[in-house]
Amino acid sequence: MSAATRFGLPTQIPPDRPLRIVGDVHGDQRAFAFAADTDRFVIQLGDLIDSGPDSAGALRVMFRLIDDGGGLFLVGNHDRKLGRALRGERVRGGPQLEATMAALDPELRARSLAELERAPAWIVSGHRFFVHAAFHTGMLANPPPDPLGPVNPLLSRALFGETTGRTQPDGFPERLLRWVNHIPAGMTVYCGHDQRSRDGRPWVTHGEHGGTAMFMDTGAGKGGHLSWIDLEP
């Protein structure tokens, strides 16, 4: 029996409940606890850990939401690295991941692995689409794969975005936004991963086919702050 099975089935989005969409947390436990103090169902867009002061605390906030039926999270690239490291695999996570691992007691390690083994890479809910990094039309026809398993093209897009293989001057991979043009008309993609905001608010852009992308990462745990938005059913 896997760790995920011991903790039961993944939480689903309640169809008639107001939502709160929360961007990348990156260990900013205090801000995440504030955002999670709501009667709305919380959808956190991935990257709960690393960078900020309390990754263990951020995980505990998320797991309390799950236990109370109050939320779920999508797997981000940092979360995937943690899950693989907890499985004993070799991961290039650097000092941030090392600090996160050191902060987890045995019970939290077991719970983290269980949740990371079943965290979805994307969720489609009517005209709303939730993913950590970027959208691909193939995600509409295919269920999310094993989040800690081999990286296929769709999982790569979900975790890392539309990459070119080149490195930017800041040392991060070069990422494109051509995928926004393929969002279907009337659909909104809520994502994180890329901190593209210039004014501290979620950044919104529109594609050629009439779709919309909302980037929720505003730098929590990395010198910025945590952003969230509320949606009605």
Would you write out the chain's pLDDT as a tens digit for each of its 233 residues?
333 333 444 458 998 999 999 999 999 999 999 999 999 999 999 999 999 999 999 999 999 999 999 999 999 999 999 999 999 999 987 899 999 999 999 999 999 999 999 999 999 999 999 999 999 999 999 999 999 999 999 999 999 999 777 777 776 777 879 999 999 999 999 999 988 888 889 999 999 999 999 999 999 999 999 999 999 99
- In this structure, the strands spanning 19-22 and 228-231 are antiparallel
Domains held by the chain: number: 1
Domain membership flag for residue 4: no
At residue 200, the pLDDT reads: 86
- What CATH number is associated with residue 120? 3.60.21.10
Range of the domain at 225: 22-231
In a domain, 14, yes or no: no
Query: Could you tell me how far CA 205 lies from the centroid of its own chain?
Result: 19
Within a domain: residue 95? yes
pTM, to two decimals: 0.93
Q: How high is the pLDDT of residue 195?
A: 87
Residue 9 within any structural domain of the chain: no
CA 158 to chain centre: 9
Does 78 map to a domain?
A: yes
- Let me know if residue 16 belongs to a domain: no
Residue 12 lies in a domain: no
**CA nearest 59: which of 68, 50, 224?**
50
72 within a domain of the structure (yes/no): yes
What the block records as the tokens of 80 is 């995937």
